[in-house]
């Protein structure tokens, strides 16, 4: 038997650091713009859930240079009615029923920077060859692939063509994978281990996908080494996203998008009548998230988000208790 302990966001705090910049006196001086895979954008991504991965969300987030991973149920006609070069969007596609994706890429591919290859179980043999095929078809695009939660899974996807690996199994706010399957990995631990160490031949770029309850958790993900963070719960519960959030493998989603099968267990739940603790409007939520990120960067002793990525200056604090903001 192999047992080990793994840490999650709730188990640690970031240790504050002294500033060496004598000119710094306000978090308004903080830069949150990525200088790597999400160049000229804030690497905070609304996940490709049905309620957050929408053009409506993208229009708001893009004003703040944040990114939206569109859900994979949009058609070419939807793109023709909504697409704009001013939107920071990621196009998502799964293993099955992806004809519309290829039509969209044929029409808009030159204006799209990122492709999100999205499955719940990124360990499937079929998926890694799918990653290889898509990278061969679109070599100039940044390919994001997942989800996995272990170094072996992350390295395999990179070996097959992924530029960024999406990390997170069973940690989402409406995900029931851990309850239904018993499988998963603490999110903070998964980020750190999937990236690798300085002794590795190469370190793996990862997106932390899910498990972020507060803007502070986003900061922790960056300090752990993630090049991007993806969340649905922090954007849900606003006027633009509605007061319902559901897992994409829930019975609700399976029936809504005609993906229900006889032996397909529901690994997601539905949360209704939710409200966002950061604000009623998505605009307010964006400002709160950006404010928390900027303040977090400043507490790390830096003025640039890029400089805190991979710092890993954590201290274990098991006494932290987060409120369930949706069920006060």
* 3-state SS string for 9-33: HHHEEECCCCCCCCCCCCHHHCECC
Q: How many Cβ atoms are within 10 Å of 126's Cβ, its own excluded?
A: 8
DSSP state of 111: G
What residues have CB less than 8 Å from 2, skipping those under 6 apart? none
Cβ atoms < 10 Å from Cβ of 141: 18
CA distance 2 to 266: 29
At residue 133, the 3 state secondary structure works out as: helix
Q: Are 167 and 207 spatial neighbours (Cβ–Cβ below 8 Å)?
A: yes
CB-facing half-sphere around the CA of 234: CA atoms within 13 A: 28
What is the distance between the alpha carbons of residues 155 and 273, in angstroms, rounded to a whole number? 40
How many Cβ atoms are within 10 Å of 153's Cβ, its own excluded? 22
CA distance 103 to 73: 13
Which tokens go with 100? 């519309």
Tell me which DSSP letter residue 34 carries: B
d(CA 53, CA 48): 4
CB of 248 within 8 A of CB of 267? no
- What residues are annotated to the active site? 175, 177
Tokens 């000119």 correspond to: 23
Q: How far apart are CA 320 and CA 74, in angstroms?
A: 40
**CB distance 267 to 177 below 8 Å:** yes
**CA atoms of 113 and 278, how far apart (whole Å):** 29
């Amino acid at each position: 038997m192999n047992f080990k302990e793994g840490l999650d966001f709730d188990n640690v705090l970031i240790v504050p650091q002294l500033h060496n910049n004598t000119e710094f006196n306000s978090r308004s001086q903080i830069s949150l713009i990525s200088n790597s895979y999400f160049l000229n954008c804030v690497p905070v991504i609304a996940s490709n859930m049905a309620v957050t991965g929408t053009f409506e969300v993208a229009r708001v987030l893009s004003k703040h240079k944040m990114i939206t991973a569109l859900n994979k149920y949009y058609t070419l006609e939807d793109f023709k009615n909504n697409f704009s070069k001013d939107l920071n969007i990621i196009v998502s596609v799964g293993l099955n029923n992806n004809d519309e994706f290829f039509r969209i890429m044929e029409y808009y591919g030159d204006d799209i920077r990122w492709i999100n290859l999205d499955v719940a179980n990124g360990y499937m043999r079929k998926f890694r060859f799918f990653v290889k095929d898509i990278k061969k078809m679109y070599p100039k695009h940044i390919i994001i692939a997942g989800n996995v939660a272990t170094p072996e899974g992350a390295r395999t996807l990179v070996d097959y063509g992924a530029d960024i690996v999406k990390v997170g199994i069973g940690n989402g706010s409406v995900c029931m994978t851990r309850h239904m399957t018993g499988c998963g990995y603490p999110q903070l631990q998964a980020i750190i281990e999937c990236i690798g160490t300085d002794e590795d031949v190469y370190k793996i770029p990862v997106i932390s996908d899910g498990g972020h309850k507060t803007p502070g958790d986003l900061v922790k993900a960056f300090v752990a080494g993630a090049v991007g963070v993806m969340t649905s719960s922090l954007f849900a519960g606003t006027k633009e996203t509605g007061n319902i959030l559901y897992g994409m493998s829930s019975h609700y989603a399976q029936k809504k998008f005609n993906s229900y099968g006889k032996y397909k267990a529901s690994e997601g739940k539905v949360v209704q009548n939710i409200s966002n603790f950061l604000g009623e409007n998505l605009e307010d939520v964006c400002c709160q998230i950006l404010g928390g990120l900027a303040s977090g960067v400043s507490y790390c002793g830096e003025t640039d988000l890029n400089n805190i990525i991979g710092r890993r200056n954590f201290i274990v604090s098991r006494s932290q208790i987060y409120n369930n903001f949706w069920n006060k």
